[in-house]
Amino acid sequence: MSSRKYAGLAMVIIICWNCSKKSSHGNSPPVAPNFYSTDIKLNGQTATASNYNINLVPVLKFSFSAALNKNTVGAAISFQDKAGTAIPYSTSYENNDKTVVIQPSSSLTYLTKYSVSVSNSLKSTEGGSLITGVDVSFITKIDSSRKFSLISDDALLTLVQQQTFKYFWDFGHPVSGMARERNTSGETVTTGGTGFGIMAIPVAISRNFITRSEGLARLQKIVSFLKNTALNFHGAFSHWMNGSTGAVVPFAANDDGADLVETSYLVMGLLTARQFFNGADVSETTLRNDINSLWNAVEWDWFRQNGKNVLYWNWSPNFGWAVNVPIQGWNETLITYVLAASSATHAISRTVYDSGFARSGAMRNGSSYYGYILPLGEAYGGPLFFEHYSFLGINPNALTDAYANYQSQTVNHTKINYEYCKANPKQYFGYSDSCWGLTASDIENGYTASSPTNDVSVIAPTAAISSMPYTPTESMKALKFFYYVLGDKLWGEYGFKDAFSLQNLWFANSYLAIDEGPIIGMIENYRTGLLWNLFTSCPEVKVGLVSLGFAAPYL
């Protein structure tokens, strides 16, 4: 019995071995080897992670280590634009069917991002699978055609000023007349941006965009709101406020009170308007008196924080000096010290300027960048608004003090920014001698102060255009590029939109008061010097500048 048992078990083992041996010797087809991508070429060049300035009918060649099953190509390859719209394409083959050639069936669109992907559903003629899917993306070239009719340079400057002025005029808050922070701000108005908008009113009157009586009425509305409705703290106003009620709109944590720098931009605008509306009639006389009331109420010296030799940016009725940021140079805040020194009621001494703003000389630079010596500030100068905000009113030409020649400062800082963009060390798509200008602006999903040391590929039109007095040739070239070449994407209801990145194919939909205002004012200073002449005609400003050690032909 036991011998039969073992004999049967042996027979089962033999049968199983024979079955196994039979199945491994060719009754099942062999497994086809998988294959892989060997090369991707775009217009004859090896494709990279970033492919820019591509023509509208590009040729893409995807090469693999095995011949392709053509029946699987159509389903495996996807050609689409950034929005996901499928792009029709044709295919052909090279290299014994190891290379598939892809070409769009019709011309693509200028300045658009496209991607072509090959999934691992692609099969070889032997039935193998693509080990890993591959893809390539590219951006087509800029359409260099003119988007608008060619006009004279003078007419173009006027057009830019007039269109930009609409931001402050048509979009001004209906109750307060003040400038909204940005085109999506609703009730929120901005103190500094309003100051820039006020400076635009004399420009608009002199250019016949509005009448003198219309400009006067708008100034009366703004000044009345500031005098009778808006909250102030020791004479200084908040960065943001509600345009109907005057209540503070907090700018940041602990920042729900006075903003001395924003107030200085407002006062610069008010004093410029005071000098412009110089009529002897009751309306203009009353306006000047009301402006003087606001001007004399600012307690500049109180912002020394108990007598320190520096001014402080913020004070809050709820948090006191919690923000605790000293106002120090070199940056956009020169005007704050000039006005503080110019005050007839709450003036500061030169010691506060020397120790506070100038940091006892530590704001000096003196290094050379791209062949230009930078008198003041950080490496490469920082964002260009440093040379715009204060100099909307202060004329830097032939202006000097113990620390700098301000004509050299403004011109050289701008030329360094221009040369950096032209050199384009980060190789961003679109940067050139026609497309330049780094300053504070919106960026995609945020805001930053762009500069050569903080370059995120975003160009802001205000940077080059507001530098017109310093680099007229370079700025005009940029303005023409922004208007004629990129105008279909950049030009809108209130002039140039805030910023753009050709590298990332991003164009802002926003307009910001603090970027719009300098465009109008600095173009006018380039053309006629109007705002420089008005502001520096203020007797108090002359006294203030001299007291700080400044010298200029107009003092």
For residue 112, give its domain range.
Answer: 37-139
Residues 161 and 50 in one domain: no
Residues 282 and 364 in one domain: yes
Residues 129 and 259 in one domain: no
Residues 227 and 333 in one domain: yes
Residue 5, domain member (yes or no):
no
Among candidate residues 115, 139, 163, the one where a domain is terminated: 139
Residues 127 and 162 in one domain: no
Instruction: Find all residues with CB under 8 Å of 45, minimum gap 6, and list them.
Output: none
Q: What is the CATH number of the domain that holds 456?
A: 1.50.10.140
Residues 435 and 509 in one domain: yes
pLDDT tens for residues 161-218?
999 999 999 999 999 999 999 999 999 999 999 999 999 999 999 999 999 999 999 9
Number of domains in the chain: 2
pLDDT tens for residues 354-383?
999 999 999 999 999 999 999 999 999 999
Among candidate residues 82, 106, 139, the one where a domain is terminated: 139
pLDDT of 50: 84
3-state secondary structure of 497: coil
Among candidate residues 109, 139, 169, the one where a domain is terminated: 139
Residue 11, domain member (yes or no):
no
Residue 399, domain member (yes or no):
yes
Residues 307 and 402 in one domain: yes
| Section 467-474 average pLDDT | 98
pLDDT of 29: 65
Query: 16 pLDDT exceeds 60?
Result: no
Residues 100 and 185 in one domain: no
Continuous segment of H or E residues that includes residue 11: helix 2-22
Q: What is the CATH number of the domain that holds 127?
A: 2.60.40.1220
Going by DSSP bridges, is the β-strand pair 248-249/232-233 parallel, antiparallel, or unpaired?
A: unpaired
pLDDT of 149: 97
Band of pLDDT at residue 28, cut at 50, 70 and 90? low
pLDDT tens for residues 440-464?
999 999 999 999 999 999 999 999 9
3-state secondary structure of 98: coil
pLDDT of 7: 35
Residues 209 and 63 in one domain: no
Residue 117, domain member (yes or no):
yes
| Closest by Cα among 477, 451, 450 to 465 | 477
The Cα 284–Cα 291 span in angstroms is 11
Give the global pTM.
0.92
Band of pLDDT at residue 526, cut at 50, 70 and 90? very high
Residue 318, domain member (yes or no):
yes
| Section 346-352 average pLDDT | 98
Query: 42 pLDDT exceeds 50?
Result: yes
pLDDT of 27: 61
Query: 6 pLDDT exceeds 60?
Result: no
How many other CB atoms sit within 10 Å of the CB of residue 355? 16
Query: 22 pLDDT exceeds 50?
Result: no
Across 47-56, 88-97, 223-232, least confident range: 47-56
Furthest CA-CA distance within the chain = 136
pLDDT tens for residues 535-544?
999 999 999 9
| Section 406-433 average pLDDT | 98
| Closest by Cα among 246, 414, 390 to 327 | 390
Residue 346, domain member (yes or no):
yes
pLDDT of 31: 80
| Section 85-106 average pLDDT | 97
Residue appearing with tokens 């800029």: 142
The length of the chain, given as a count of residues: 555
pLDDT of 8: 38
Per the prediction, the chain carries an average pLDDT of 94
Residue 289, domain member (yes or no):
yes
Residues 132 and 165 in one domain: no
DSSP 362-423: TTB---EETTEE--BSSGGG--GGGGTSGGGTS--TT-B-SS-BHHHHHHHHHHHHHHHHHH
Residues 186 and 80 in one domain: no
Residue 304, domain member (yes or no):
yes
| Closest by Cα among 112, 117, 67 to 89 | 117
Query: 18 pLDDT exceeds 80?
Result: no
Residues 132 and 226 in one domain: no
pLDDT tens for residues 213-237?
999 999 999 999 999 999 999 999 9
pLDDT tens for residues 264-323?
999 999 999 999 999 999 999 999 999 999 999 999 999 999 999 999 999 999 999 999
| Section 63-89 average pLDDT | 96
